[in-house]
């Protein structure tokens, strides 16, 4: 691990903010590092307000989209809400369909089959719309590159409205409206919305047109917060506001489908991290193992008994997903070791029998293991499909784009992407991808980095400090949980390896004084000898809470330790 200590901000800015807010210098330092330098900025950060959401009509084509939907409603057209099979797509479909159905009945949903149709808008989906009399398709979390598909629909007199957040290509589809803040000609002030976020802006515009307020839309924000967490978009600006209020809904009045999931896992108050690791994988499991329709059905169900039945079914999908993920990861690791590919700048593996629904998760696991830009391929019909994951600081989307002569189709983001290619092009692509990455990646990016916000003394950690720190949440890209460095630490003599396989490290730490803090280091069991036996060590960590037998205390969540 590389530990990178962030530079200290300007002392005067820290001192001024400390006085203005009545907080200690450590809190003020963390805020200034996040670009918060005034009382007003701090107020906006700590007290997100729905009033700070941007006018949805600032988004290019929004007025056209609303006019087309209102025309469809006034002329009793059938509207098909179409979305991708992942969390962002299924929550988007649940959001827009349930909103429209609250006042207009002729609305149906469509999620493409991951295996038969693949990612994004499909010809099969358009044929379904034609066969069932739909004259308007609203696509969510996909479609910004679907030029030929939209043309095909147009030939059948079916209009498209596209709500996407992926990077457009050189040409936009000839749709009625293309809502995408990443369009070059779109002046929308916030560019980092997820697909569900763009869908919410459309709902906000429709609601404004109908004389509704944001208070009328609060019940939909649990879906938006879930998509924000799952899609790993920055939790800044509008996303922070939407996630903040969405979490409030999840924890106070969640939709029936969420209640059913939470009853399965017996979890009460959720953070954005819990949403990412508890709710999102279960929603995703439906599309991975069976069909994304199951997720939309659960998310829009209003009967708790039916929702409980759907949640139980999805729980089984999630277990099947875990089993497949574990097996394929094991096989992929063997393949890498046997071929000595861990020496490469990239990790690219392929097996025709791997389950397409979990190769993205496996790619993430391999990235954690070897810390290289990674692609996992499997057979998909008569082609190969892959999921890509990257290391921090390296744009895997751009690298894949540079290999496009061997690719049939691709899309995605800086750190996660997907592609399909012909089997005969696999080795050519693999070699070209290795060449492109080798030529463009900074070698230091191949060593995992922990960015440390500041050095802290153990005595600085008290209840007031931690209480304010908790208000920095929700955490995520752009506002990560603060990471601290503390030196000259010792274990109090109770250090031990814990967990079923003894891979985790539990310590009781002090820094010379009487104050002690319990610390847990997941996956750090191999560092026991370094931290125990009276040895001095330094640690990087974040802070969280541990509740045991009704007592709650501050706990250090160790990221890494060194002598």
Q: How far is the C-alpha of 514 from the C-alpha of 291, rounded, in Å?
A: 56
Predicted confidence band at 534 (pLDDT cuts at 50, 70, 90)? confident
CA angle 422, 426, 428 (to 5 degrees): 115
Q: What is the pLDDT of residue 231?
A: 87
One domain, residues 420 and 543:
no
Strands 504-510 and 496-498, by their bridges, are: antiparallel
Q: What is the pLDDT of residue 193?
A: 97
The domain that holds 166 is classified in CATH as 3.90.1640.30
One domain, residues 64 and 27:
no
Only one residue has tokens 């030196």, namely 487
Strands 449-452 and 134-140, by their bridges, are: unpaired
One domain, residues 308 and 407:
no
User: Is the confidence at residue 113, as pLDDT, over 90?
Assistant: no
Q: How far is the C-alpha of 176 from the C-alpha of 178, rounded, in Å?
A: 7
Residue 362 lies in a domain: yes
Peptide bond into 474 cis (omega under 30): yes
The domain that holds 494 is classified in CATH as 2.40.50.460
Q: What is the pLDDT of residue 3?
A: 95
One domain, residues 74 and 185:
yes
Q: What is the pLDDT of residue 407?
A: 95
Residue 373 lies in a domain: yes
Neighbours of 13 (CB within 10 A): 16
User: Is the confidence at residue 155, as pLDDT, over 90?
Assistant: yes
User: Is the confidence at residue 138, as pLDDT, over 70?
Assistant: yes
Q: What is the pLDDT of residue 227?
A: 96
DSSP string, 119-179: SS--HHHHHHHHHTTEEEEEEES--TT-HHHHHHHHHTT-EEEEE--SPP-SS----SEEE
One domain, residues 440 and 466:
no
Domain boundary among 422, 446, 470: 446
| Domains of the chain: total | 4
DSSP string, 270-336: --HHHIIIIIHHHHHHIIIII-THHHHHHHH---HHHHHHHHHHHHHHHHHHHHHHHHHHHHHHHHH
What is the average pLDDT score of the chain? 93
**Least-confidence region, from 113-117, 166-170, 438-442, 531-535:** 113-117
pLDDT above 90: percentage of residues in the chain: 77
Domain that holds residue 353: 339-446
User: Is the confidence at residue 4, as pLDDT, over 90?
Assistant: yes
Q: How far is the C-alpha of 392 from the C-alpha of 441, rounded, in Å?
A: 11
Residue 326 lies in a domain: no
Q: What is the pLDDT of residues 493-522, one digit of tens each?
A: 888 999 888 999 999 999 987 788 999 999
Range 534-563 average pLDDT: 90
The domain that holds 384 is classified in CATH as 3.10.310.30
One domain, residues 31 and 180:
no
Q: CA separation (Å) from 86 to 5, 12, 323, 360?
A: 36, 46, 19, 11
Q: How far is the C-alpha of 508 from the C-alpha of 185, rounded, in Å?
A: 56
Range 362-382 average pLDDT: 93
* 250: region left, alpha or beta (phi > 0 left; psi from -120 to 50 alpha): alpha
Q: What is the pLDDT of residue 119?
A: 78
Q: What is the pLDDT of residues 537-549, one digit of tens each?
A: 999 999 998 877 7
Residue 260 lies in a domain: yes
Q: Are the C-beta atoms of residues 25 and 15 closer than 8 Å to each other?
A: yes
Residue 96 lies in a domain: yes
CA angle 348, 351, 352 (to 5 degrees): 135
Range 234-263 average pLDDT: 93
One domain, residues 84 and 137:
yes
State the alpha helices, DSSP H only, in 301-425: 304-338, 359-370, 396-401
Range 386-402 average pLDDT: 94
Predicted confidence band at 284 (pLDDT cuts at 50, 70, 90)? confident
One domain, residues 415 and 459:
no
User: Is the confidence at residue 357, as pLDDT, over 90?
Assistant: no
One domain, residues 110 and 232:
yes
Q: What is the pLDDT of residues 192-230, one digit of tens each?
A: 999 999 999 999 999 999 999 999 999 999 999 999 999
Q: How far is the C-alpha of 95 from the C-alpha of 462, rounded, in Å?
A: 41
Domain boundary among 388, 422, 446: 446
Q: What is the pLDDT of residues 422-442, one digit of tens each?
A: 999 999 999 999 999 999 999
One domain, residues 251 and 286:
yes
Predicted confidence band at 341 (pLDDT cuts at 50, 70, 90)? low
Element (H, E) at 42: helix 39-46
Residue 122 lies in a domain: yes
- HSE value, Cβ hemisphere, 13 Å, CA-based, for 338: 7
DSSP string, 433-499: HHHHHHHHS-GGGGS-EEEE-EE--GGG--HHHHHHHHTTPSPBTTBPPP-EEEEEEEE-S--EEES
One domain, residues 137 and 192:
yes
Q: What is the pLDDT of residue 31?
A: 97
User: Is the confidence at residue 342, as pLDDT, over 70?
Assistant: no
Residue 330 lies in a domain: no
SS3 380: strand
**Least-confidence region, from 52-66, 255-269, 463-477:** 255-269
pTM over 0.85: yes
Q: CA separation (Å) from 329 to 89, 243, 290, 366, 501?
A: 26, 32, 20, 7, 18
Only one residue has tokens 């330092």, namely 29
Residue 556 lies in a domain: yes
Q: What is the pLDDT of residues 73-97, one digit of tens each?
A: 999 999 999 998 889 999 999 999 9
Domain boundary among 446, 472, 490: 446
Q: What is the pLDDT of residue 38?
A: 96
Q: How far is the C-alpha of 373 from the C-alpha of 11, rounded, in Å?
A: 39
Range 32-36 average pLDDT: 95
Q: Are the C-beta atoms of residues 206 and 84 closer than 8 Å to each other?
A: no
Q: The tokens of 480 are what?
A: 């990560």
Range 310-339 average pLDDT: 90
One domain, residues 406 and 532:
no
């Amino acid at each position: 691990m590389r530990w990178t200590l962030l530079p200290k901000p300007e002392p005067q800015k820290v001192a001024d903010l400390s006085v203005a807010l009545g907080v200690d210098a450590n809190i003020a330092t963390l805020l200034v590092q996040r670009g918060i330098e005034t009382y007003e900025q701090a107020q906006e950060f700590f007290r997100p307000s729905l009033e700070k959401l941007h006018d949805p009509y600032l988004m290019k084509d929004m007025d056209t989209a609303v006019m087309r939907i209102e025309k469809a409603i006034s002329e009793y057209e059938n509207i098909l809400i179409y979305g991708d099979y992942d969390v962002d797509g299924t929550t988007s479909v649940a959001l827009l369909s349930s909103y429209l159905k609250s006042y207009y009945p002729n609305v149906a949903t469509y999620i493409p089959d991951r295996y038969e149709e693949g990612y994004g808008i499909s010809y099969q989906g358009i044929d379904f719309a034609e066969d069932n009399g739909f004259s308007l398709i609203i696509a969510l979390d996909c479609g910004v590159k679907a030029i030929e598909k939209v043309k095909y629909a147009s030939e059948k007199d079916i209009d498209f409205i596209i709500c996407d957040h992926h990077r457009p290509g050189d040409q936009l589809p000839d749709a009625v409206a293309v809502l995408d803040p990443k369009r070059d000609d779109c002046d929308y002030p916030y560019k980092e919305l997820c697909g569900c976020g763009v869908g919410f802006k459309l709902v906000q515009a429709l609601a404004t047109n109908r004389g509704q307020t944001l208070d009328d839309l609060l019940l939909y924000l649990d879906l938006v917060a879930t998509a924000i967490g799952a899609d790993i978009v920055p939790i800044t600006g509008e996303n922070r506001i939407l996630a903040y209020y969405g979490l409030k809904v999840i924890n106070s009045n969640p939709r029936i489908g969420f209640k059913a999931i939470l009853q399965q896992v017996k979890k009460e108050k959720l953070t954005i991290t819990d949403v990412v690791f508890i709710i999102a994988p279960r929603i995703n499991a439906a599309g991975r193992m069976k069909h994304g329709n199951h997720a939309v059905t659960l998310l829009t169900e209003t009967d708790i008994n039916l929702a409980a039945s759907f949640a139980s079914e999805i729980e089984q999908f999630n277990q099947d997903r875990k089993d497949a993920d574990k097996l394929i990861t094991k096989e992929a690791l063997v393949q890498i070791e046997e071929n000595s590919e861990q020496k490469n700048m990239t990790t690219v593996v392929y097996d025709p029998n791997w389950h397409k629904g979990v190769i993205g998760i496996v790619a993430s696991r391999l990235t954690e293991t070897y810390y290289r830009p990674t692609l996992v391929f499997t057979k998909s019909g008569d082609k190969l499909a892959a999921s890509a994951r990257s290391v921090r600081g390296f744009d895997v989307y751009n690298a894949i784009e540079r290999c496009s002569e061997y690719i049939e189709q691709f899309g995605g983001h800086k750190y996660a992407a997907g592609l399909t290619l012909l089997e005969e092009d696999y080795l050519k692509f693999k070699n070209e991808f290795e060449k492109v990455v080798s030529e463009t990646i900074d070698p230091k990016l191949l060593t995992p980095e922990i960015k440390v916000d500041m050095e802290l003394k153990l005595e600085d950690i008290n209840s007031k400090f931690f209480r304010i720190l908790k208000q920095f949440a929700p955490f995520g890209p752009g506002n990560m949980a603060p990471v601290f460095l503390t030196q000259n630490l010792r274990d109090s003599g109770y250090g031990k390896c814990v967990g079923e396989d003894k891979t985790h490290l539990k310590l009781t730490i002090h820094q010379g004084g009487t104050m002690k803090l319990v610390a847990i280091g997941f996956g750090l069991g191999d560092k026991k000898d370094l931290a125990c036996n009276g040895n001095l060590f330094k640690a990087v960590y974040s802070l969280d809470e541990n509740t045991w037998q009704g007592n709650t205390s501050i706990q250090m969540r160790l990221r890494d330790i060194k002598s």
